[in-house]
Structure 1
Amino acid sequence: MSENQHKVVEEEQGVRLDKLLVNLNEGASRSQIQSWIQEDLVTVNGTSQKSNYKCQEGDQLEWEVPEPEPLEVEPENIPLDIVFEDEDVVVVNKPRGMVVHPSAGHEHGTLVHALLYHCTDLSGINGIMRPGIVHRIDKDTSGLLMVAKNDKAHASLAEQLYNKTAERKYVAIVHGEINHEYGTIEAPIARDPKDRQKMGVVEGGKDAITHFKVLAIYPDYSYIECELETGRTHQIRVHMKYINHPLAGDPKYGPRRTLQIDGQALHARHLSFNHPTTGEKLSFDQEPPKAFQDLLDELQKRT
């Protein structure tokens, strides 16, 4: 176990103990924190408190983080929509709702579990938890993802992402009517200091650039195409919120009153890169899934 300490400052006065600890432990969920409190791994001024304890300025928090249980990634027979495959690369059309790789809370049913069943070989550069994974898309984002089947292919694809020679284009439905055809958002992204479960535009964060094109305008909504120049966590979602056009259905960055869709209306429609061995330019396009198309049809009826 690792031991941690924190002295509560003025702006943290009155914050619930479990909520404050979530902000202090990147990647930990509220339920995980509450289990630590129940197991007496957390003390306030040397004594145990309940999850709903309101922290006071000057309180000394001490907590132990239990060692994570090792995860074993076993192949699972989960259907995959394979768009392209050869001895070096797999291009997958990931469905909405599927997590890309295992993590705490997602020990089964991920794309990696399905790939391990489908492929005999995947690159090992990212370790046993993320074999073959060169880049990710969020759980509720659907669309195209490239996967490396060996380390040589992985290194080539990763270099293309770094050098911005691989193309990734997304389509999204956003709140508000964008009254200009093109735009570029250049704003640094980092973990939100006020909520460690979110990303945000933060001074001193990592450089992030998103280009967008307006494809259609509907009452109160716009349909856009976004092209990533960088690949930060939640980049499109954070950038569109930053310019006051959050994604429809986004539970983390969008408004409560939104279109009826399970998760953000975001789809990775286009992917292109040079083949790691032959150098041939490969280009793939995949239209959004039915739920996304149904939303577009509904918006079209409103015009």
Structure 2
Amino acid sequence: MSDTENLHAFHVDESEAGERLDKFLANREDDWSRMAVQAWIKDNRVLVDGQHVKSNYRLAVGEHIEVAVPPPEELHIEAEAIPLEIVYEDDDVIVVNKERGMVVHPAPGNYSGTMVNALLYHCDDLSSVGGVIRPGIVHRIDKDTSGLIMATKNDVAHWSLAEQLKEHTVERVYETLVIGNLPHDHGTIDAAIGRDPKNRQRMAVDPKKGKHAITHFEVVERFGKATLVRCCLETGRTHQIRVHMKYIGHPIVGDPVYSTQVKKWPINGQALHAKVLGFLHPRTGDKLRFVSEVPEDMKACLVRLRQQ
């Protein structure tokens, strides 16, 4: 195999025995689709105990799997004059208050209108660590989640902030409106998250195959049929707060994926806002901390609840 810089290795445990190879691999990484995995298998980029097998191969306990992921397709992402709410900016870092509905970075089928397109227009330079389609991007928030997100203008700043995220020293606090009355004033949800095997567009709590995920929460205000909650991320898994709140029986208001009461609320997307972002400046070491008020559509939900 070539492309050793993109080589991934896995071992099959007892709970995974009998599973199809393509399904097994598609569930291992958030960015791997089953279609992409099947293409890699067909191109002989996957070995099971040193042998090439088919996508429908059934795995056995103890087998060793190697995957040589091909390098990303070279793309040219256009700079676009899209308005951004810049909260902070210097030669190393830029902090944006992202509006609900804006995608953070381009992806297949969606190469324009993203925050990256806007940043490329606004900034002369962005870090290259994230590759062609994710320049400057250190972390992400969902399309329909609003609030604070940081990006970097050079690779030194990128690696510094990425390390802070890895060490869980970045302060990330969200405010969210959830359905129902939470029984506890505060608590911690410690539940691993992985791709939902029944629906690859969703994530789910998966104690066996999921990645470690911890969310701390505190009740801010109660309305009976809904609760305003402050959540602090210790880890940063895909859809983490959305999945964790659904897991404890209180999905987020307006969430089109994890809630069944979407049409009952005056909001287009989940009522989830990245309110606080704090980190050490990658060059000076100074502590930077930013706070953003919830957007108008989320305020409208709160006003309606307070009037009832």
- Relative to the length of structure 1, the TM-score reads 0.77
Name the amino acid aligned to 2:275. R
Say which SS state the counterpart of residue 240 (structure 1) adopts.
Answer: helix
- Specify the alignment match of 2:176 in structure 1: 172
- Among candidates 81, 86, 89, match of residue 77 of structure 1: 81
- Specify the alignment match of 1:239 in structure 2: 244
- Specify the alignment match of 1:210 in structure 2: 215
What are the equivalent positions in structure 2 for 1:55-94 lying under 5 Å apart? 71-94=75-98
Say which SS state the counterpart of residue 248 (structure 1) adopts.
Answer: coil
After TM superposition, give the deviation of residue 137 of structure 1 in Å. Answer: 0.2
Moved over 3 A (4+): 26-29, 68-71
Contact 2:174 2:276 in 1 (8 A): yes
- Specify the alignment match of 1:251 in structure 2: 256
Percent of paired sites with the same residue: 57
- Among candidates 225, 228, 233, match of residue 228 of structure 1: 233
After TM superposition, give the deviation of residue 107 of structure 1 in Å. Answer: 1.2
After TM superposition, give the deviation of residue 261 of structure 1 in Å. Answer: 1.1
For structure 1, the 5+ residue unaligned runs are 1-21, 34-59, 61-67
Contact 1:219 1:299 in 2 (8 A): no
Name the amino acid aligned to 2:117. H
Answer with 100-109 or 68-77: which moved more.
68-77
What are the equivalent positions in structure 2 for 1:13-92 lying under 5 Å apart? 71-92=75-96
What are the equivalent positions in structure 2 for 1:96-111 lying under 5 Å apart? 96-111=100-115
- Among candidates 280, 289, 300, match of residue 295 of structure 2: 289
Contact 1:27 1:197 in 2 (8 A): no
After TM superposition, give the deviation of residue 182 of structure 1 in Å. Answer: 0.4
Q: What is the CA–CA distance in structure 2 between the aligned matches of 1:71 and 1:267, rounded to whole Å?
A: 31
RMSD: 2.8
Q: What is the CA–CA distance in structure 1 between the aligned matches of 2:154 and 2:89, rounded to whole Å?
A: 13
Q: What is the CA–CA distance in structure 1 between the aligned matches of 2:156 and 2:251, rounded to whole Å?
A: 38
After TM superposition, give the deviation of residue 226 of structure 1 in Å. Answer: 0.3
- Among candidates 144, 151, 154, match of residue 147 of structure 1: 151
Name the amino acid aligned to 2:116. V
After TM superposition, give the deviation of residue 27 of structure 1 in Å. Answer: 6.6
TM-aligned CA distance change 1:27 to 1:209, over 3 Å: closer
- Specify the alignment match of 1:262 in structure 2: 268
Contact 2:82 2:113 in 1 (8 A): yes
Q: What is the CA–CA distance in structure 1 between the aligned matches of 2:76 and 2:267, rounded to whole Å?
A: 33
Q: Deviations over 1:128-163 (max 9, x none)?
A: 100010000000000000111100000110111111
Q: Deviations over 1:161-208 (max 9, x none)?
A: 111111000000000101321010000000011111111001221000
Say which SS state the counterpart of residue 273 (structure 2) adopts.
Answer: strand
- Relative to the length of structure 2, the TM-score reads 0.76
Say which SS state the counterpart of residue 190 (structure 1) adopts.
Answer: strand
Name the amino acid aligned to 1:277. R
- Specify the alignment match of 1:50 in structure 2: none
Number of matched residues?
Answer: 253
Contact 1:71 1:107 in 2 (8 A): no
